Structure 1
Amino acid sequence: MFVPGLTVWYNVRSIESSLAFYTEKLGFEELFHNPEWGMAMVKTNTDNCVIGFSEAETVEPSTSSTVFDVTDIEDAVHKLQGVGVSFVGEIETIDDFVKLATFADPDGHSLMLSQQLTEL
């Protein structure tokens, strides 16, 4: 019934601002951009996972986090801070399980980095 893949979709105030954040700061690839429709999509570094955007006058930031796995969270946080990404608080560690770091996109949608500390 399902095929491999996942699309996360956000309402955003500015397609241009969102594309700049997700491509220039996070390093994702632009797949689609139609300014006339106020829509765009980026390909993440996760196989078959894309993030789409629809321009809207009113945006309610998502409180559910989209989580991106990394191999070295300290290094990833340092690199993202170097390109202007601001994190909320410090890296959190859940002993023998995971390290987490939270940040937001230009519209306040919650994003997170995750480094697994055990095999799943």
Structure 2
Amino acid sequence: MPLVSLENTITIALSVSDRHASARWYEGMLGFEPIYHADEAGWSELRTKTPNVTLGLGEHTKPAPGNCVPVFGTSDLDTARHKLEAVGVRFDGETDVVDGMVKTATFYDPDGNALMLAEDLTGEA
């Protein structure tokens, strides 16, 4: 039995310099559908052609090319984080919260690959 419970969703998060331009590119080139642009959070999401898989675009002035972070949905991030930390999993700082939107926490696998947990706070999930 797994240590934490995940939902059947995944977001693949990419670092980009212009979310709106990148969203148009993914829409035109791959047929992904924009879900929303959260300008106040510097974040956009697009629906891919794969059920329950979205593409997240995080805007950064100096994006990290090749940077891809799988984001796993969970209904209780605090409990999941506590369980992972209890067995020595390393997290990158505190949990981030965008009120009414999302709660996220970045952690690392044994090889230093970044992964993220996300809890939907919109009440729509």
Q: TM-score, normalising length from structure 1? A: 0.49
Instruction: Write 1 or 2 for the structure with the bigger share of strand.
Output: 1
